[in-house]
Structure 1
Amino acid sequence: MLTDTLGTFALILGELLALFLVVSTTIALVNRRFGPEKMRDWMSNGRVPSPLKGLVLGAVTPFCSCSTLPMLVGMLNAGVAFQTAMTYLISSPLLNPIIVGGVGIIFGWQTAITYTIFTLAVSLIAPWAWGALGMEKSLKRVRVQGEGTPEPWNGLRSEMPGALRQAWTDLRPLLIPMLVGVAIGASIYSFVPADQLTAFAGANIWWAVPLAAVIGIPLYIRLETMLPVGLALQSAGVAVGPIFALMIGGAGASPPEVSMLAAIFKPRLLATFVITILAVAIGGGYIISITA
């Protein structure tokens, strides 16, 4: 069992480090090529409201919950509005095509449409509510890049070393929280195999949905694992609502993500984020139970 846990730890950590560095390096190159002010202007100006742009960007970037962090840091560093950045944070892991397609395959396309509408509404409403409650003040100090006069673009080969240094700078304060979160997630993931989840989520009773959502969050069920797990549970006779809550809880938040968010979120905002993901998982589970 220890060997399996260490293997899972290494696999998850390797994936997260690779994804973070690739995404963060790409963002650094984009910022160097076009400037952070252009990202801010594009996200803030135009006929399309900026939260909708955050929603669309989240929907077309099929990242897992942890992989949204470098993009989120890049947005905040560029001065993108709080509500827009938080809309992206919620929608990217929950509204991406892999999740929607998987829900359609497992539960049917009517359920997938219901899920999409529900998650879309939450992704827009929750950040607005956070802003109305003054949650922006619960962001830890974020380095906003100034306007200034940008240095000329020197070509990809010349710019790559600087982008890699910037990616490492962004990763460094998140590294310890990432290690802690991955260790927790790998331990739970290894010691709670999928075939034992039916004992927790199999009963078709009212408290099965919230219980499954709570269990799902620390499991860190990755996208490639979550869908076959859901299909297996459905084949084993587990009710649709608990399966859905388990999957969304695992996709929307995880120990690595929560640990890394703690580096940029104060406790009030961090707790609000986790509660929001729980609400999506539980509310969606009940809605799916009714409509399925």
Structure 2
Amino acid sequence: MNSWGETFQTFGIIAAELVALFLAISFLVALFNRRVGAKRIQGWLGGGPVVGPLKGVALGALTPFCSCSTLPMLAGMFKAGVPFVTAASFLVASPLLNPIILTAVAVIFSLPVMLGYAAVAFVGSLLIAASWNALGLERFVKRVRVEGEKAEEPWQGLRAEMPGAWRSARSDFRPLVLPLLVGVSIGAFIYGAVPESFLTGFAGPDNPAAIPVAALIGIPLYIRTEAALPIGLALSEAGMGIGAVFALIIGGAGASIPEVSMLTAIFKPRLVATFVASILLMAIAGGFIIPLFA
């Protein structure tokens, strides 16, 4: 168990990191949307219910964001009129599937385990996006102003566009301040209160429910996948099965409490709950599938 001093330090570091990341990414996304234009972005990321999600996963794989850092990009996609199914696949894939993570899994665990993890993250992202789209869950996205709804003004040059991009970033961030602080507070408390022995005790190899328990434990945690992998190796060496380790990693990296709290500014409650349930199912499935590759 970590000391409360370490817990408060963790809160401050995570909160500062997320604020800086959100504002920086929102600023860059706003500039990108203005420079490229909503219609061109829609064209690039369009393609229907099959090609669109593949583009979303590909974009997620190329953007090594943590789960919370995907949100400004997600908001920018909705503003640009990107199809819901494409944005959904990006939301799921971005924190879980990128070359940095895949390389780390191969080095820390093994190449076959990396292939199993990649297959779970890739197929899981596509299935989640397709199922959300088939269920018509787009209606549970809160109203987002689409830039294409009005005539686009010509690009005025980087220096002239920067103040508007900064105002857009602050405007996007304002409704997320309270959810972010609440989510980070809960995540930091869990970080301080949950000892490693608890994780290995409840999700050890002797527990037949180890994988679903690890997935449930992982959801409230805020862990970047890159940082979670060495932790996962330590837990594996402490007695946690590899399936439970990856269930914990996928759950924690894919749907942390800070991310879920911030998603409430973009998604209505039913879609937020569906998102959490989808990541939980993906984490459990990954926990059973990935060990088959070991």
For normalisation by structure 1, the TM-score amounts to: 0.94
Q: Which amino acid aligns with 1:49?
A: V
Query: Which residue matches 1:288?
Result: 290
Q: Which amino acid aligns with 2:97?
A: L
1:264 paired with 2:275, answer: no
Query: Which residue matches 2:144?
Result: 142
Query: Which residue matches 1:58?
Result: 60
1:151 paired with 2:153, answer: yes
Shift, 1:236, TM fit = 1.8
Which runs of 5 or more residues in structure 1 are unaligned?
Answer: none
Cα distance per residue 1:164-183 (max 9 Å; x no partner): 11000111111111111011
What pairs up with 1:104-253 in 2 under 5 angstroms?
A: 104-253=106-255
Query: Which residue matches 2:91?
Result: 89
Query: 1:221·1:250 contact (CA, 8 Å) conserved in 2?
Result: yes
Q: Which amino acid aligns with 1:86?
A: A
| Alpha-carbon separation, structure 2, partners of 1:224 and 1:92 | 13
Query: RMSD of aligned C-alpha atoms?
Result: 1.7
| Alpha-carbon separation, structure 2, partners of 1:282 and 1:99 | 19
Query: 1:115·1:284 contact (CA, 8 Å) conserved in 2?
Result: yes
Cα distance per residue 1:224-283 (max 9 Å; x no partner): 431211111122232111111111111101111000111111121111111111111111
122-131 vs 69-78, which moves further: 122-131
Which runs of 5 or more residues in structure 2 are unaligned?
Answer: none
Alpha carbons of 1:288 and 1:59: their partners in 2 closer, same or farther (altered >3 Å)?
Answer: same
For normalisation by structure 2, the TM-score amounts to: 0.94
1:4 paired with 2:12, answer: no
Shift, 1:7, TM fit = 1.0
Query: 2:179·2:262 contact (CA, 8 Å) conserved in 1?
Result: yes
Shift, 1:118, TM fit = 2.1
| Alpha-carbon separation, structure 1, partners of 2:224 and 2:47 | 35
| Alpha-carbon separation, structure 2, partners of 1:111 and 1:235 | 16
Query: 1:106·1:230 contact (CA, 8 Å) conserved in 2?
Result: no
**Large movers: runs of 4+ above 4 Å:** none
Query: Which residue matches 1:277?
Result: 279
Alpha carbons of 1:290 and 1:223: their partners in 2 closer, same or farther (altered >3 Å)?
Answer: closer
Aligned-pair identity (%) = 57
| Alpha-carbon separation, structure 1, partners of 2:44 and 2:291 | 40
Matched residue of 1:44: which SS?
Answer: coil
Shift, 1:54, TM fit = 0.8
Cα distance per residue 1:200-234 (max 9 Å; x no partner): 22234430000001001112122343121111112
Query: Which residue matches 2:32?
Result: 30
Shift, 1:45, TM fit = 5.1
Query: 2:115·2:293 contact (CA, 8 Å) conserved in 1?
Result: no
Alpha carbons of 1:189 and 1:235: their partners in 2 closer, same or farther (altered >3 Å)?
Answer: same
Query: Which residue matches 1:76?
Result: 78
Alpha carbons of 1:112 and 1:221: their partners in 2 closer, same or farther (altered >3 Å)?
Answer: same
Matched residue of 2:145: which SS?
Answer: coil
Shift, 1:291, TM fit = 3.1
